[in-house]
Amino acid sequence: MRSVPLKKSSMDLTEGNIVRLIVTFAMPILVGQVFQNLYNSVDAIVVGRYVGTTALAAVSASADISQLLIGFFSGLSVGCGVLLARYFGAKNYERLSDAIHTSLCFALVLGLAMAALGILFTPALLHVVGCPDDVYGEAASYLRIYLAGILFTAIYNVSAGVLRAVGDSRHPFYYLVISSCVNIVLDLTFVVWLRMGVIGVALATIISQVTSVLLVFRQLTQTDDVYKVTLRRLRMEKELVLEVIDLGLPSAIQSSIVSVSNLFVQRYINSFGSSAMAGIGAAKKIDKFVGLIAQSVGQSATTFISQNYGAGKLDRIFRSIAYCMMINFTMIAIIGTPVYFLADKLITFFTTDPDAMAYGVGMVHVMMPCYFIQSLNALFANATRGFGKSRVVMVLSIFGMVVCRQIFLAVTMSVHYDVRNVYFGYPFGWFCAAMGVMIYFYFAIFRRLRREQSLK
């Protein structure tokens, strides 16, 4: 083990005021994800406004499919981050460096494989979601191009996870802002000026992803900090690959399976026609902005807990969870309330079709009051991951957000085939997952660690 003086881009979360550290660390993640979500939303806005309802439906039909693979690599980055943050908190910098190079190499190999498989199975994936014939052609074109760039998504997510694991949430934020601006400019250029339709939107997304990868790799390779990456050292060490799989793969699988479940939810949505696809697709774009609060605070909790667990500081961990809960509830109330009351105005950014707007507003009105439940699930799931229990979180999340949600939809839709059942299916899944992970955290982690502390 070697002692390396920390540079300003990394942040030691094991010392200092807990609330200030969490807020300082979480805000760049939140704003960065807002920008990332913004350029996804701009895709839908530009297509809906300048191409038409069918094109918007095509992008919406592809959203859950693309999210399946994006979610996989986002989950992988969170799980890898647990391992990296633990080494960083323990100040084991040599092992940290080895784990970083292994994680990046692992992401590169998986990204190439996922891109190839995604392009090959595009027709099958669109068949799974029941994509209507009038939307299929544009949806297939968009999805194939989009999935060709999934390699860059994989590399960026894991690279940004490296920075967050060492307490640097600022640089990923900067890179997302820049890539978002690139995407927005190219969306307008390709779609409004060059009239390229959904193909233009997909190309703009890939170019913006390449931009973010170039920026984050520049940071990793040129820094003098403990997380410096040297290209010739990119290789997969068997022992570290197994650790990455143990901590990262459950999170990745969980995200993917939840996305697979969403594909079947999309089938229900698609059965109500292109107006429902467009309107609900727009509502998903809007409600994701509110959901980013819980995700950002949750990711911060994972890094905070991992570093402090590596340093053996349990009291800081348990206090941080209470603070994160208060931050979540306050921010959701502040942002979710105006979104609820301005739902109709917000939907018009995507479409002015009356039928589509009705579907979108209906979904927003159901989802907004339920984000408190989602915040509990995100916080305790990420806290449990911070203790290295990724497999438990995977099982409980799949049970709640996949099994319970699908049972709910199957029963309610058989009784009364109503689109509102789809709306309520999302918070029902959050509730089941939240109950499971909170019970596990209390009995298997909190009480056990408190008991061990009392015996010392």
pLDDT tens for residues 387-401? 888 889 989 998 998
Mean pLDDT of the region 429-445: 94
78 pLDDT above the threshold of 90: no
Q: Is 335 exposed, middle or buried (0-12, 13-18, 19+ CB in 10 A)?
A: middle
Sign of CA dihedral 78, 364, 438, 399: negative
Mean pLDDT of the region 356-360: 93
Helices 354-367 and 314-341: crossing angle in degrees, nearest 10, is 150
The three-state (H, E, C) secondary structure of 66-98, written as one string = HHHHHHHHHHHHHHHHHHHHHHHHCCCHHHHHH
The lowest-confidence range among 134-138, 152-156, 297-301, 337-341 is 134-138
What does the alpha-carbon distance between residue 215 and residue 130 come to, in Å, rounded to a whole number? 38
Q: What is the DSSP letter of 441?
A: I
pLDDT at 6: 45
Q: Report the phi/psi class of residue 138: left, alpha or beta, with left for phi > 0 and alpha for psi in -120 to 50.
A: alpha
pLDDT at 170: 87
Mean pLDDT of the region 119-143: 84
What does the alpha-carbon distance between residue 329 and residue 239 come to, in Å, rounded to a whole number? 40
Mean pLDDT of the region 193-204: 88
pLDDT at 303: 87
pLDDT band at 5 (very low <50, low <70, confident <90, very high): very low
pLDDT at 1: 41
Mean pLDDT of the region 84-92: 87
pLDDT at 3: 45
The secondary structure of the chain in percent helix, strand, coil, rounded to multiples of 5, reads: 85, 0, 15
Mean pLDDT of the region 88-113: 89
Percent of residues, the chain, with pLDDT higher than 70: 96
Mean pLDDT of the region 276-284: 88
What value does the mean pLDDT of the chain take? 86
Cβ-based neighbours of 438, under 8 Å, separated by 6 or more: 376, 380
Task: Answer with the residue of higher pLDDT: 235 or 248.
Answer: 235
Task: Answer with the residue of higher pLDDT: 423 or 5.
Answer: 423
352 pLDDT above the threshold of 80: yes
Mean pLDDT of the region 49-78: 75
Mean pLDDT of the region 233-240: 86
pLDDT band at 455 (very low <50, low <70, confident <90, very high): low
Task: Answer with the residue of higher pLDDT: 450 or 218.
Answer: 218
Query: Does this model's pTM top 0.85?
Result: no
The count of residues in the chain is 456
Task: Answer with the residue of higher pLDDT: 53 or 39.
Answer: 53
Mean pLDDT of the region 44-50: 78
Percent of residues, the chain, with pLDDT higher than 90: 34
Sign of CA dihedral 392, 393, 398, 400: positive
pLDDT at 207: 94
Q: Report the phi/psi class of residue 52: left, alpha or beta, with left for phi > 0 and alpha for psi in -120 to 50.
A: left
Greatest mean pLDDT among 28-42, 276-290, 319-333 lies in 319-333
pLDDT at 4: 46
Task: Answer with the residue of higher pLDDT: 401 or 59.
Answer: 401
What does the alpha-carbon distance between residue 376 and residue 372 come to, in Å, rounded to a whole number? 7
Give the closest residue to 74 by CA, choosing from 318, 302, 370. Answer: 302
Structure tokens that stand for 396 in this block: 């409980």
365 pLDDT above the threshold of 80: yes
Task: Answer with the residue of higher pLDDT: 58 or 267.
Answer: 267
Task: Answer with the residue of higher pLDDT: 59 or 273.
Answer: 273
Task: Answer with the residue of higher pLDDT: 90 or 210.
Answer: 210
